[in-house]
Copies of this chain bind each other. A is one copy, B any other.
Amino acid sequence: MAYRETDQVRARKAAQREHLLVSAEQLVREGGFANLTMQTLARQARVGVGTLYRYFDNKGRLAAEVFRRATEREVAAVAQAMTHGDTVVARLTHVLQEFVRRAQSAPKLAWALIAEPVDPEVDSERLHYRRQYASLYQALLREGVASGELPEQNIAVVAAAMVGGIAEALVGPLSEPLEQDDVAEALVGFCLRAIGL
Contact = CB atoms under 8 A, between A and B. Distances in A.
Interface of A: 115-124, 126-127, 130-131, 134, 153-154, 156-158, 160-169, 171-173, 176, 178, 182-183, 185-187, 189-191, 193-196
Q: In the assembly, how many copies of this chain are there? A: 2
A160 B190 CA distance: 11
A154 B130 contact: no
Q: Is the contact region of chain A dominated by helix, strand, or loop, or is it mixed?
A: helix
A174 B171 CA distance: 24
Shortest Cβ-Cβ A-B pairs, 9 listed? A164-B168, A117-B123, A165-B165, A154-B186, A161-B165, A194-B194, A157-B186, A164-B164, A117-B120
Contacts of A167: 164, 168
Nearest to A171: B160
Interface centre among A121, A126, A169 (most CB of B within 10 A): A169
A131 B171 CA distance: 10
Nearest to A155: B186
Given A123-B117, A123-B118, A157 B173 contact: yes
A176 to B, nearest CB: 7
A166 B123 CA distance: 19
Contact of A173 (B160, B176, B187): B160
Given A130-B168, A153-B189, A154-B185, 15 more contacts: A117-B120, A117-B127, A153-B186, A153-B190, A154-B182, A156-B178, A157-B178, A157-B182, A157-B190, A158-B169, A160-B165, A163-B168, A164-B168, A165-B165, A165-B194
